[in-house]
Structure 1
Amino acid sequence: MQYKNDGFYSSMDLDDDGRLKNVLWADARSRAAYEYFGDVVTFDTTYLTNRYGMPFAPFVGVNHHGQSILLGASLISSENTETFVWLFDTWLKCMDGRAPKAIITDQDRAMKNAIVIVFPNTRDRYCLWHIMRKLQEKLGSYAEFKSGLKSGLQRCVYDSQTSEEFETSWEVFTDTYNLKENAWLQSLYNERMYWVPVYLKNTFWAEMSTTQRSESMNAFFDGYVHSGTTLKEFVDQFDNALRKKVENEMAANFHSFNATVPCISHLPLEKKFQAVYTNSKFKEV
């Protein structure tokens, strides 16, 4: 690939016997996209483990059309701090030493440690969806779960406008349902800076609060790769999937340059947005 593609970057991490442990790669397009869209990155290893037991771990961002874009990809052999340090460090080299301003991960302890080591100035956020999805499993056994407990916790998390408001409503919530001793909730409270929206609102997140970007990228690879895919097939199919992704982006670019979404008001401000935004972003506005 390096021979065919000038800006292609790859790095392999071998064990003492010369066997492949971890590999990271990014093509010229991903590296160029990072220049523009590298502020916020999501990183997730939960999608696919191939027949060698190596999780696929993509770095994913979002472009000016709101589409998920690939900013690097890796296959890793274990999910410990040492592996993530190697991976983040290598990815940083690939991106000319420019760390993302913010990163969204899935609450993995080893990942968190590695971020502190390699990206000390990057704001780390846990995927909110992963946390809220565990409510049933962790608190479902309480009698009041469906009659107020679940909605009380959701209100506390989503509706608090200031950190003081969150602290107060958390206090009231844990008192009301006698949850002061619940170890899971206690650990979440201790790490509230990493996942409660009110503590994260001063950072730019490109409209992402979850690793769903990684998941939508994962869904994109469905049909191309699966758990029985060999490494050789993986690389070929990965390439095919990426080509399709590029076509989608080019189609959106073409549409933005050649079609105009009409304004719905006579405000000069709206006209300004119409001129500077892509069609998909203008529709949102």
Structure 2
Amino acid sequence: MDVDDRSRLRNVFWADARSRATCEYFGDVITFDITYLTNPYKMPFTPFVRVNHHGQSILLGCGLISNKNVDTFVWLFESWMKCMSGRAPKAIITDQDQAMKRAIEIVFPETKHRFCLWHIMKKIPKKFKGYSQYEAIKRDIDRCVDDSLSRDEFEDSWQRLLEVNNLQDNEWLQWLYFERHHWIPTYVKNTFWVGMSTTQRSESMNAFFDGYVGPKTTLKQFVDQYDEASKSKVEKENTEDFISLTSRVPCITHYAIEKQFQDSYTNSKFKEVQDEIS
């Protein structure tokens, strides 16, 4: 808990024993997002989320914070680090909040930081809907992001986007280009992201807490309800563990490499391999 000079509560971080143990296996890539879980104090809910060996979202701790400045995020990230025995994530996905970015640079200096691609792309209609060439702009931005296989290809495509649509002075595009190392796929492709490019797993945690936390939930009740919600997640993971240990998804080819994946992967992850093969 973080209190001010008058001993008033400002910020709270919570992680249980299972979260700390799980971090050892699944804490290398996390998503972090400020989702506004309704509560009497209007405090942003900040879950640390990771994907387990079944592709399920799991919590590695969460916070309730009073504001979104650098000092608050530094306190929150440092609290998370203390709970996780000083183990920083190898990669983290967030939105484009600059205070959050600065705090990550301070607390996780070696961690690869990626902006949520979905958050950026969903702003295109708002930024360009009033332009007569909106459809062309959207198509060109999509092409820059999705079709650039190298940095040189992106640079060429981006310059064409600006020149053809006369957008050289657009401040939002200037900022996106300046931050390209944090969100353009070809710039971040050499880092392991567990197949994630967005923070939507963090945002889905609001749905995860539905039925456990409501508008009148107090902080003390929140801790108790957090445990109840976590138990339901654990039960689902245990069910998937049992299914993978007691049954196998049949191979669809005679390739030895598919058999190797069948022997090593959980059923849900092996099905993803089969989707690629087929």
TM-score normalized by the length of structure 1: 0.93
Aligned partner (choices 14, 38, 46) of residue 57 of structure 1: 46
| Structure 1 residue 220, shift from structure 2 partner | 1.1
CA RMSD of aligned residues (A): 1.0
| 1:67 corresponds to | 56
* 1:184 aligned onto 2:172: yes
Q: How many residues align?
A: 273
* Per-residue CA distance 1:82-139 (angstroms, 9 max, x = gap): 0011111111111111100000011111100100100000011110000000000011
Structure 1 window deviating more from structure 2 (17-26 vs 273-282): it is 17-26
Residue 44 of structure 2 aligns to which amino acid in structure 1?
Answer: P
* 1:110 aligned onto 2:99: yes
Distance in 2, Cα, partners of 1:213 & 1:91 = 18
8 Å contact 2:61–2:80 — kept in the other structure? yes
Aligned partner (choices 132, 140, 143) of residue 132 of structure 2: 143
8 Å contact 2:35–2:206 — kept in the other structure? no
* 1:198 aligned onto 2:198: no
| 2:239 corresponds to | 251
Residue 228 of structure 2 aligns to which amino acid in structure 1?
Answer: N
Residue 155 of structure 1 aligns to which amino acid in structure 2?
Answer: R
1:1-285 equivalences in 2 (<5 Å):
12-146=1-135, 148-285=136-273
Distance in 1, Cα, partners of 2:73 & 2:40 = 21
**Structure 2 counterpart SS, 1:58:** strand
Distance in 2, Cα, partners of 1:187 & 1:74 = 29
8 Å contact 1:58–1:214 — kept in the other structure? yes
| Structure 1 residue 46, shift from structure 2 partner | 2.4
Unaligned segments of structure 2, at least 5 residues:
274-278
Residue 178 of structure 1 aligns to which amino acid in structure 2?
Answer: N
Distance in 1, Cα, partners of 2:272 & 2:218 = 41
Distance in 2, Cα, partners of 1:59 & 1:122 = 15
Residue 167 of structure 1 aligns to which amino acid in structure 2?
Answer: E
TM-score normalized by the length of structure 2: 0.96
8 Å contact 1:43–1:103 — kept in the other structure? yes
Distance in 1, Cα, partners of 2:38 & 2:227 = 18
| Structure 1 residue 217, shift from structure 2 partner | 2.3
| 1:4 corresponds to | none
Q: How has the CA–CA distance of structure 1 residues 175 and 228 changed in structure 2, closer, same or farther, with 3 Å as cutoff?
A: farther
Distance in 2, Cα, partners of 1:198 & 1:72 = 31
Residue 202 of structure 2 aligns to which amino acid in structure 1?
Answer: S
| Structure 1 residue 222, shift from structure 2 partner | 2.1
* Per-residue CA distance 1:213-236 (angstroms, 9 max, x = gap): 102222211232234422233222
| 1:3 corresponds to | none
* Per-residue CA distance 1:234-255 (angstroms, 9 max, x = gap): 2222221111111110111011
Report the identity percentage: 64
Residue 259 of structure 2 aligns to which amino acid in structure 1?
Answer: K
Unaligned segments of structure 1, at least 5 residues:
1-11
Residue 244 of structure 1 aligns to which amino acid in structure 2?
Answer: S
8 Å contact 1:102–1:124 — kept in the other structure? yes
Structure 1 window deviating more from structure 2 (15-24 vs 49-58): it is 49-58
8 Å contact 1:69–1:217 — kept in the other structure? no
**Structure 1 counterpart SS, 2:101:** helix
* Per-residue CA distance 1:20-41 (angstroms, 9 max, x = gap): 1111121111111100011101
**Structure 2 counterpart SS, 1:169:** helix
**Structure 1 counterpart SS, 2:14:** strand
Distance in 2, Cα, partners of 1:103 & 1:209 = 10
| Structure 1 residue 49, shift from structure 2 partner | 4.5
